[in-house]
Amino acid sequence: MSAQRKIIHCDCDCFYAAVEMRDDPSLRGRPVAVGGRAETRGVIATCNYEARAFGVHSAMSTARAMKLCPQLVLLPPDFERYRAASRQILAIYTDYTPLVEPLSLDEAYLDVTGVARCKGSASLMAEEIRARIHAEVGITASAGIAPNKFIAKVASDWNKPNGQFVVRPQDVDAFVAALPVKKLFGVGKVTAARLQKLGANTCGDLRSWSLADLTREFGSFGAALHRLCRGIDTREVKPDRTRKSLSVETTYVTDLPDLAACRAALPALIGEFRRRFERAREARPVHKAVVKIKFADFTQTTVECVSSAPDEFVWQQLLDEGHARRGKPVRLLGVGVRFAEAEADEPVQIDLFGSDQAP
């Protein structure tokens, strides 16, 4: 019988803002956010807890954040410094286990099953790791400790900031039963509202649904709901996490009024993508070309086609198709590719047009 897994999910507290406050102590105690400027339709990447007290949060438009908190100190992101801090933190993790799966610059899973340090206690290891991050990197981190990845990630948010929470194997059932359905992987606002309308507010409520009923209502995602609401997650911590896609996107200061303007903007976007693609040095072949469009009314669409070597003509055709769906002015364009997947690859959830955002 295999040993019960011991998984730690470490998550730095308001990472980008924390690095800024570390490097400029005068920012401490003041509401601080990292993000784009309001006049360029920027969004907040992360903010500290002083800013959150005003209702500011990541992914909020900067204009909205400044209205909620006029005294907000807004800083442009400095990814070189954030990456340097992230490398320091990763080095600390690998002192404890080679099984480290980074999710972004500021969070990672660690599988410490069978690790002898700290008398084999995952909770003590998490405490030691967090203390080292504070001493060596100058910021704080929170941690969740549990028998699987799903529960560890939820638990890391339980005692934020600068805290940790453990869910022991014997406590998994009760812990998960009380969780709101919105805590389940893959359940966003729309699905959460749909589940609540169907009478499932907590994972305990959802357990009354059979696998057949969930599959009929939610398709293949129903099987995942059936497992997760029971706290079942068999995914392993994988140090070599596979990139599923690569992309770039731009939000324009002034809406692109028509298709012609979108076409004119495309070459610059493709040039930026090609520079990023060269830096990525991805060995797997490209499988699809993708275009993302967000219209002025904030509706968005994604169009893709099979293409092993997309060029400007391929992306332009996708742009034409996507723009025709709404025919409105455009505030954001993105171009990217999806890579071919090996049959044995485990699906991993990486947003094609996502960005690192510290919670």
Catalogue the active-site residues: 107
Question: CA gyration radius for the chain?
Answer: 22
3-state helix, strand, coil in the chain (%, to 5): 40, 20, 40
Give the CA count within 13 Å in the CB-facing half-sphere of 240.
1
44-47: strand order across its sheet: 44-47, 32-35, 73-75
Residue indicated by tokens 């003041």: 30
Cα 35 to the chain's mean position, in Å?
A: 16
| Terminal-residue alpha carbon distance, the chain | 37
Quick check: helix, strand or coil at residue 312?
helix
Please give the full DSSP string across 199-263, using - where no structure is assigned: T--BHHHHTTS-HHHHHHHHTTHHHHHHHHTTT---PPP-SSPPP-EEEEEEEEEEEE-SHHHHH
Q: Distances from the Cα of 328 to the Cαs of 215, 259, 262, 296, 336, in angstroms?
A: 36, 9, 11, 7, 22
Q: Does the annotation flag 11 for ligand binding?
A: yes
Q: Does the annotation flag 356 for ligand binding?
A: no
| Tokens, residue 145 | 């400790």
Which DSSP state fits 347?
P
What is the greatest pairwise CA distance in the chain?
65
Output the known binding site for Mg(2+). 11, 106
Residue positions forming the annotated binding site? 11, 106
